[in-house]
Amino acid sequence: MLTFLKTIFTWWNRDTFGTRIKTIFFGKLVGTDKFRNKYYKNKSGKRWVIYSGEVDASKIPVEWFSWIHFMPNKIENDHDPKKYEWQKPHQPNLTGTDSAYYPNKNKKDAIEKKYKSWK
């Protein structure tokens, strides 16, 4: 029951009940990415994404970014472009997580102040 109420009244957990109804009646599935996000569009040209798991816009990989933002790109129709060996796989924004980048290897050094405050 609580999950059903969350679906109806919250938008930050996943797609809402209204988005789900709109997707069923008016959405045409265009494709899915490697993170299992689903990309839809309707007859008038509006585009949207249904995220798998937590809603986070940084989870949209490069292959779909230009499509969702209506940016003309030569790989727009090729959602599985050629990857080079030097390219890293796409990652969502990791700020605030344990996997976040710190310039110093030791996290204690990264948090330590580099100045002395007045007393």
> In this predicted model, what pLDDT tens digit does every residue of 22-44 receive, in sequence order?
888 999 999 998 889 999 999 99
Pair of tokens at residue 74: 């030569």
What is the number of domains present in the chain? 1
* Residues 38, 97, 10, 56, CA torsion sign: negative
CB atoms within 10 A of CB 53: 11
Q: What is the pLDDT of residue 7?
A: 64
Write down the pLDDT at residue 39: 93
pLDDT tens column, 48-67: 999 887 788 888 888 888 88
Q: Is residue 46 in some structural domain?
A: yes
Query: Residue 3 falls within a domain, yes or no?
Result: no
pTM score, whole prediction:
0.61
14 is a domain residue: no
What is the reported pLDDT for 80?
61
Among residues 84, 70, 74, 83, the alpha carbon closest in space to that of 34 is found at: 83
Is position 96 within any domain? yes
Could you tell me the residue range of the domain that residue 67 belongs to?
19-110
